[in-house]
Structure 1
Amino acid sequence: MFTCTGYAAETATAPLAPFTFQRRDPGPTDVVIEILYCGVCHSDIHTVRNEWGGTLYPSLPGHEIVGKVTAVGADVTKFAVGDVAAVGCMVDSCGTCAACREGLEQYCEPGFVGTYNGRDDAAVGGHTFGGYSSHIVVTQDFVLKVPKNLDLAAAAPLLCAGITTYSPLRHWKAGPGKKVGIVGLGGLGHMGVKLAHAMGAHVVLFTTSKSKVADGKRLGADEVVLSTDPEQMKAHAESFDLIVDAVAAPHDINAYLGLVKREGTLVQVGAPDKPLAVDVFSVIWRRRNFAGSLIGGIAETQEMLDFCGEHGITSDIEMIPIDKINEAYERMLKSDVKYRFVIDMASLKKAA
């Protein structure tokens, strides 16, 4: 074991604060990463505040991790000391179930091991601690390579926001000749716009904010629709091959299902803390699909990173020191960020 520092919450109502804990020493296939940057995901807030239930405390979040390899186990072949490495939402899975054998570790049947709030028999506290910390130890099969041309801080959110939107776009074959809608221009949505545009789709952004119209077009949207305007919504009725809904708050999903063409798909990637009410007639009358999607497997995540390297895609970020994390949470809840906070982990030494 070796000592690490980070920021964690002791209860659902406590602020994140400096925290000292133990990481395991690297085993034969482990990679030790000194964390340079960690993105701040809305899932971090949901977990820290126990909004989804099941949070294990102390809760130390962070699953958009980019850093430098400082040590490797004797059997590691994929990384060497000094390499840049990245870690996303998973740090392990069973490796033997049907999903894992197909490279879909995110759907591991016993359940993948989350980068934070997951089971961890080696941890003193019995559960995993994430990227709001100085170091992380991960088996090499769950560590990823970052293309050299990408800014490392701006690449960090690709490990969740990037793959969360890339995976459904890829699965439902977004590309030339396809009309793709992205609902919401936040951390997930702005990546969805960039990626769908790079794939060659005709991209339509849906937003409730007039102030985001110009930004949506800057990011790659061919059209921007104010979802609060019934006439603008009506103009797109039954015309979409695919809509990716990135909104993490309760909203009327049926308004968007009505925009999907026959046999098209609306896929939910935003995770509201309350159920969405689907009118069955929204799907029955046109044999529409209402689907969900959860990040991507390790191979697909590496594919996404390589795609972003080829197209020069990173997240639009605002860098913060770690002692501003509680303020950042409050700002995120007000959508006061364009479009992802990233923690400069160099600030941890001073703050902790």
Structure 2
Amino acid sequence: MHDEAPGAKPSVAAYTAPSAGAALEPTTIERRPLGPHDVGIAIHYCGVCHSDVHQVHGDWGDGTFPMVPGHEIAGVVTEIGADVTRHAVGDRVGVGVIVGSCRDCGMCVQGLEQYCAKSVETYAAIDRYHGGEPTRGGYSTHIVTDEHFVLRIPDSLPLDQAAPLLCAGITTYSPLKHWDAGPGKKVAVLGLGGLGHLAVKIAHALGAEVTVLSRSERKKDDGLRLGADHFHATDDPATFDLLAGTFDLVVCTVSSRLDVDAYLSLLANGGTMVYLGITDEPLGVSVFSLLRGRTSLAGSQIGGMAETQEMLDFCAEHGIGADVEVIDATRINEAFDRVRHGDVRYRFVIDASTFES
């Protein structure tokens, strides 16, 4: 970071969307001065999440502009505040979806910071804990973050493959753990994209019997390579007859409108369908689909800090990283367009060194 005087706000290179729907462009932003509990991080890689695309295009209507996206951040610690105890200069670290929470409510005390009513997202939010300024994400060369929200990336995980774990990885790991995916459990992963490909890897490593449900068989070879035991095309109506009453857990990673009742019919008695993909369209569900087998329809978002660290350690132990296509900053807008059309296998990751090019 370029900091000319003690206490000054460091200026760093970044890519920003000046307004909703605008193309991202190179710029310079200021980071806050390092506080006593802060960690300064040189970003090496940042993943491109589908939510970045939604936020930049104003699909959810609550973003702040100009916007610097990015919440799948992997890099190296360059400086630490005087009271930092969790990290040291030179550590390999990551920052995910949130960079602040109240730390006192029932959710925070349970290690569920992601559900804190006063949590602060890594970008497109107002940082109530540091002067009320807008947060800016990882499409940048550097970031300053409270140590509590900085994760250790094990040495065996390549940083480019680790970056998407900070969102896509924990978003899938958390519900798989919560609903006890493991030996003896049948798990279906609906959709094989950025989230889905990691859900398959993680569910397989947990010991579950894994089935991929995708519209066609176009990605069948990939699904089986990633660790799925079975692959079925949902465009074939016979799939729903064949698999009726089969799964203990259906993990929905798609963000398009679905016939939810059809997928609920695939659950075994007491099974759960959990939504991870975000759609702003209402879900049409018949109560009879839930009564039929005491089934549940649920949602889940990322994980707390302790669980996210647990996920990173688990992925390192099992050799799990994201399948990535590394790009330079000049290709961000192209990548956004390809993400909107599902044209990536399976996560774009930006080389942060190119933000200054």
Q: Report TM bin, short chain.
A: over 0.9
Counterpart check, 1:208 vs 2:215: yes
Name 1:298's counterpart in structure 2.
305
Name 2:350's counterpart in structure 1.
343
**Mapping for residues 6-155 of structure 1, pairs under 5 Å:** 6-108=14-116, 110-121=117-128, 126-155=133-162
* Deviation at residue 117 of structure 1 after TM alignment: 1.2
What one-letter code is carried by the residue in structure 2 that aligns with 1:281?
Answer: F
Cα offsets for 1:283-319 (capped at 9, x unmatched): 1222110000010000000000000010000000000
Distance 1:123 1:57, change over 3 A: farther
Identity of aligned residues (%): 53
Cα offsets for 1:32-71 (capped at 9, x unmatched): 0010000000010111111111111111110000011111
Distance 1:203 1:131, change over 3 A: same
**Mapping for residues 144-293 of structure 1, pairs under 5 Å:** 144-293=151-300
What one-letter code is carried by the residue in structure 1 that aligns with 2:193?
Answer: G
Aligned counterparts of 1:77 and 1:311: Cα–Cα separation in 2? 28
Unaligned runs of 5+ in 1: none
Cα offsets for 1:202-226 (capped at 9, x unmatched): 0000001321011100000000010
Q: Is the 8 A contact 1:181 1:240 kept in 2?
A: yes
Q: Which moved more, 1:27-36 or 1:76-85?
A: 76-85
What one-letter code is carried by the residue in structure 2 that aligns with 1:89?
Answer: V
Which secondary structure state, in structure 2, belongs to the residue aligned with residue 210 of structure 1?
Answer: coil
Which secondary structure state, in structure 1, belongs to the residue aligned with residue 333 of structure 2?
Answer: helix
Which secondary structure state, in structure 2, belongs to the residue aligned with residue 33 of structure 1?
Answer: strand
* Deviation at residue 122 of structure 1 after TM alignment: 7.5
Runs of 4+ in 1 over 4 A off after TM superposition: 121-125
Q: Is the 8 A contact 1:24 1:122 kept in 2?
A: no
Aligned counterparts of 1:334 and 1:264: Cα–Cα separation in 2? 32
Distance 1:3 1:125, change over 3 A: farther
Q: Is the 8 A contact 1:225 1:233 kept in 2?
A: no
Name 2:341's counterpart in structure 1.
334
What one-letter code is carried by the residue in structure 1 that aligns with 2:49?
Answer: C
* Deviation at residue 134 of structure 1 after TM alignment: 1.0
Aligned counterparts of 1:140 and 1:124: Cα–Cα separation in 2? 17
What one-letter code is carried by the residue in structure 1 that aligns with 2:235?
Answer: T
Q: Is the 8 A contact 1:226 1:233 kept in 2?
A: no
- The normalised TM-score by structure 2 is 0.96
Aligned counterparts of 1:277 and 1:165: Cα–Cα separation in 2? 24
Q: Is the 8 A contact 1:62 1:130 kept in 2?
A: yes
CA RMSD of aligned residues (A): 1.2
Which secondary structure state, in structure 2, belongs to the residue aligned with residue 211 of structure 1?
Answer: coil
* Deviation at residue 121 of structure 1 after TM alignment: 4.9
Q: Which moved more, 1:266-275 or 1:132-141?
A: 266-275
* Deviation at residue 273 of structure 1 after TM alignment: 2.9
Q: Which moved more, 1:112-121 or 1:163-172?
A: 112-121
Cα offsets for 1:174-213 (capped at 9, x unmatched): 0000000000000000000000000000000000132101
Q: Is the 8 A contact 2:45 2:73 kept in 1?
A: yes
Aligned counterparts of 1:300 and 1:121: Cα–Cα separation in 2? 24
Cα offsets for 1:160-182 (capped at 9, x unmatched): 00000000000000000000000
- The normalised TM-score by structure 1 is 0.97
Q: Is the 8 A contact 1:160 1:295 kept in 2?
A: yes
Q: Is the 8 A contact 2:120 2:128 kept in 1?
A: no
Cα offsets for 1:223-243 (capped at 9, x unmatched): 001011111221110111001
Aligned counterparts of 1:136 and 1:165: Cα–Cα separation in 2? 25
